[in-house]
Amino acid sequence: MTRRNHLELYYGHSSDLTKHDPINVFCQSIDVHPQNMAVVLRYDRFATSVEKLTSVHNTWSHYHGEHQGNNKWQADAQGNSSIPLPRGQTTNVMMEESLDNIEYIQEVSFSPCGRFIASPFGYGIRLVSYDSNLYDYQTHMASRVHGMHKSAKGSDTVMPAHTFIDAAPLHDVTYCFGHRSLVLSTAFSPVGIQIVTGSKNGEIVFYEPVL
């Protein structure tokens, strides 16, 4: 199998899919899903005001099902629809707290299981998931495209080659506070859901969130 370098550009989330202007986006941090299914970005978007966003972008080409030829896809035996999604599409997004200062880089991170994202939030962190079921990314996406498939066709037979989906809001799981200054970085332990954070004044705090 021949492997080639592959370049993709991620401009963050825009409700208008025709407008992706990198000039108006200041990306602060990026992390890659542990199974390489997605990337999460934290960034500022400059419009009439500064919008602070965290968004998840798909890096897989399709979910479940089997290829039927002629750009047609069919549900698998369990009824999971399959759909090839454009790589880099925003699948989940959330607005961050609005702060006047934008000169500090704030780092987001995926959990080792890929189900959670830790994002700096004031003097603490915000722990979020893709949905209220706490599904992993693949199950979450399969559930969404299956629902879209059903509503579009009323059956589990054929879907178009590429389909855009609306960006769903990330789900708040819990908040953890303990710093005396603005949190700038987050990282998960390789095992479990222990999180370590660092703040502007040099403090380091460990958390073990109760989910």
Q: Is the pTM of this model over 0.85?
A: no
In percent, the amount of the chain with pLDDT more than 90 equals 42
Q: Of the ranges 28-37, 155-164, 197-206, which one carries the lowest mean pLDDT score?
A: 155-164
Q: Is residue 13 part of a domain?
A: no
Q: Which pLDDT does position 149 carry in this prediction?
A: 60
Taking residues 8-29, report their average pLDDT: 63
179-202 residue pLDDT tens: 999 999 999 999 888 999 999 999
Q: What is the distance between the alpha carbons of residues 117 and 109, in angstroms, rounded to a whole number?
A: 6
Taking residues 17-43, report their average pLDDT: 79
Q: What is the distance between the alpha carbons of residues 130 and 206, in angstroms, rounded to a whole number?
A: 23
Q: What is the distance between the alpha carbons of residues 210 and 127, in angstroms, rounded to a whole number?
A: 11
Q: Name, in order, each residue with C-beta under 8 angstroms of 127's C-beta and a sequence gap of 6 or more.
A: 116, 117, 118, 119, 172, 173, 174, 175, 176, 195, 209
Taking residues 156-162, report their average pLDDT: 49
Q: Is residue 77 part of a domain?
A: yes
Q: What is the distance between the alpha carbons of residues 2 and 21, in angstroms, rounded to a whole number?
A: 33
Q: Is residue 15 part of a domain?
A: no
How many folded domains does the chain comprise?
A: 1
Whether 64 shows a pLDDT value over 70: the answer reads no
104-119 residue pLDDT tens: 889 999 999 999 999 9
Q: Which pLDDT does position 84 carry in this prediction?
A: 62
In percent, the amount of the chain with pLDDT more than 70 equals 65
Taking residues 175-182, report their average pLDDT: 94
Q: How far is CA 51 from CA 25, 140, 172, in A?
A: 10, 26, 19
Q: Is residue 7 part of a domain?
A: no
Smallest Cα–Cα separation from 51: which of 76, 14, 16? 14
Arithmetic mean of pLDDT over the chain: 77
Q: Is residue 16 part of a domain?
A: no
Q: Is residue 17 part of a domain?
A: no
Q: Is residue 4 part of a domain?
A: no
Whether 129 shows a pLDDT value over 70: the answer reads yes
Residue the block writes with tokens 């009323």: 154
Q: Which amino acid is at 56?
A: V
Q: Which pair of structure tokens corresponds to residue 121?
A: 């939030």
Q: Is residue 14 part of a domain?
A: no
Provide DSSP, 7-21.
Answer: --------SSTT---
Whether 75 shows a pLDDT value over 90: the answer reads no
How confident is residue 138, by pLDDT bands cut at 50, 70 and 90?
A: confident
Domain that holds residue 174: 22-207
How confident is residue 141, by pLDDT bands cut at 50, 70 and 90?
A: confident
